[in-house]
Structure 1
Amino acid sequence: MKKKIQNRWLQDILFMIVGTVIIALAVKCVFEPLDMVTGGFSGLAILIKEMTSHLVKGGIPLGVTSFVLNVPIFIWAFVKKGKEFAGKSFVAMILLSFWLAVIPAWDLSQQDLLIGCLFGGGLMGFGVGLVLRAHCTTGGTDMLAALLHIRLKQYSLIQIMQVIDALIVIAGLYLFGLKIALYAIFAIFVMMKVSDITVEGLNTSRAVYIMSDKSDEIAQALMSGLDRGVTGLNAKGMYTHKERCMLLCVVSKKQMVYLKETAMAIDPKAFLIISDAREVWGEGFQSFADKM
């Protein structure tokens, strides 16, 4: 167990280092050269650099702004949430500020907005996903939203984050124009999708509910053909008042074709409900012991 904990810490540190490097590359080498504000403190740092360019040569560096903005947020988090909440995230924030300060300002997009939003959004999403897999954040608007949520319980955490990021994007629209702002919104969408895939993986599962008069035959066929467990649930049709067994089976996406073809071959009148199962823990899927 001690070795597993040490390996987990080493893995988290590796994810934090690589993730913050990738985030810094996206901000410094894609979004900044394009003046593309994608929300978050990184987007706010780009705005501040532009607004201070006439006061300081080249504007205030992104790493300095990111660090200065995050310090009071982490002090607030430490007071309100405790050291466990703020500890790893503070290290990730220091790493991100460091990379933003030392990475040269290469223009990886070559001033192409489409390449910028796709490549930059993909880089940012992958980096954020790695940091989240290390069970921390880089601070910024997500942590600010979590702290504001303590006082604003009537709003969800996502709603608060959306409002903060929307205000930053609107400010970018005012400074850099509508065209870049629209590309920035597209980049945010790409970033969200890539970060979800990075955190959850491509092997998302499906939860399938099957209503049939031949539930026993279908269950046996699925258990033998897919090597998956099937659970029978007592169900009652409120129109017919007829009681029957409803099957629940969780399978991978690759197994969905076999499941549907098998169920419909046995009972063409079967009623199937298929939904995404974002996380599945247990035998045949993710093992909690392996995550420790």
Structure 2
Amino acid sequence: MIKALINRKAYFIYKFLMIIAGATLAALSIELFLIPNLIIDGGIIGISLIVNHLTTIHFGVLFICFNIPFLIAGYKLLGKSFFLASLIGIISLAGVESLFHHTSPFTSTPLLATVFGGVILGAGVGLVIRHGGALDGTDIMAILLTKKIPFSIGEFIMFFNIFVFVWAGFVLGWEQAMYSIITYYIASKTIDMVVQGFEGDTKAVLIVSDHYKEMADCIITKLGRSVTKLNGKGGYINTDKEIIYVVVTRLEISKLKTIIAEIDPLAFTTIMDTQEARGSKFKSALH
């Protein structure tokens, strides 16, 4: 019991240290590559950078203010752990960015800033997502709004970012907007590489466990996702098995892994990419 508590505490310390590390990388990318070269990213980061350029309000203050409402709105949907992880990440990013505010940029060449800024930003955001948090409220906003509008999560994010980059074109110039689109693309691909299993917008998960009833109840209660129980048979010992099938978003997969580990660390689990998820809470995703 004591050993389990120590291991659990160590895991959470490691998790939050990695979130802080990811936020630090993202902040360094923003302050040392993007801001000096008038390059932005998509989502809330992009909005914050544009407003920062138009006003005297510091980027960190804008970033926190724009993100907090979406975190609060998503608290019920994604849970306390996600809320705290994201809050720590957002505050860390804003704090580190402020510390390096007067540091000289690494390069004044837009193309170099675009490539290296995108890679470092993507690595930072990817680390945060991989360890159960988020640095951008756009995903949360998309999950909440797509329940009420006829668009998928991916479609909403795409339309939102089109708006951001068009706005950037008018404010920063169209050449800077084009560099920004390249940065966004590079960052997105880097996130995919850092966050294992997050190539798509949703994941289909199969879980084989002797504690299937408790597992299913916990997934329904804590994630708010419906599960399907499938009848299976072990090929080696020829015993009947109950298999749980569930589809989750990329922001929920970390929490699902935690649930599985807590209830049955020996559960056999497979996580698969899904091209589309239709019906119930899911709509077709373009990501």
TM value normalised by structure 2: 0.63
Aligned residues: 199
Partner secondary structure for residue 85 of structure 2 = helix
Residues 107 and 185 (structure 1 numbering): CA distance in 2 closer, same or farther, change over 3 Å?
farther
Contact 1:11 1:134 in 2 (8 A): no
Partner secondary structure for residue 155 of structure 1 = coil
Matching residue of 2:165? 169
In structure 2, what is the Cα distance between the partners aligned to 1:18 and 1:84?
A: 18
Partner secondary structure for residue 192 of structure 2 = helix
Aligned-pair identity (%): 24
In structure 2, what is the Cα distance between the partners aligned to 1:107 and 1:40?
A: 26
Is the counterpart of residue 27 in structure 1 residue 62 in structure 2? Answer: no
Partner secondary structure for residue 22 of structure 2 = helix
Deviation at 1:196, TM superposition (A): 1.3
Partner secondary structure for residue 195 of structure 2 = helix
Contact 1:37 1:168 in 2 (8 A): no
In structure 1, what is the Cα distance between the partners aligned to 2:266 and 2:104?
A: 43
Is the counterpart of residue 178 in structure 1 residue 181 in structure 2? Answer: no
Partner secondary structure for residue 74 of structure 2 = helix
Deviation at 1:117, TM superposition (A): 0.8
Matching residue of 1:133? 130
In structure 2, what is the Cα distance between the partners aligned to 1:144 and 1:23?
A: 21
Partner secondary structure for residue 147 of structure 2 = helix
Moved more, 158-167 or 136-145: 136-145
Is the counterpart of residue 13 in structure 1 residue 16 in structure 2? Answer: yes
In structure 2, what is the Cα distance between the partners aligned to 1:2 and 1:188?
A: 40
Matching residue of 1:197? 193
Residues 289 and 95 (structure 1 numbering): CA distance in 2 closer, same or farther, change over 3 Å?
farther
Matching residue of 2:140? 143
Computing the radius of gyration from Cα coordinates, the structure with the larger value is: 1
Is the counterpart of residue 95 in structure 1 residue 92 in structure 2? Answer: yes
1:67 aligned residue (53, 64, 68): 64
Amino acid at match of 1:77: G
Structure 1 unaligned spans of 5+? 53-58, 202-230, 232-280, 282-287
Amino acid at match of 2:37: L
1:74-103 superposed Cα distances (whole Å, 9 cap, x missing partner): 222225554344232122222222222222
2:116 aligned residue (116, 119, 123): 119
Contact 2:82 2:132 in 1 (8 A): no
Moved more, 75-84 or 114-123: 75-84
Contact 1:90 1:139 in 2 (8 A): no
TM value normalised by structure 1: 0.62
Contact 1:64 1:101 in 2 (8 A): no
User: What value does the CA root-mean-square deviation take over the aligned residues?
Assistant: 2.4
1:47 aligned residue (45, 50, 55): 50
In structure 2, what is the Cα distance between the partners aligned to 1:141 and 1:96?
A: 16
Residues 135 and 193 (structure 1 numbering): CA distance in 2 closer, same or farther, change over 3 Å?
same
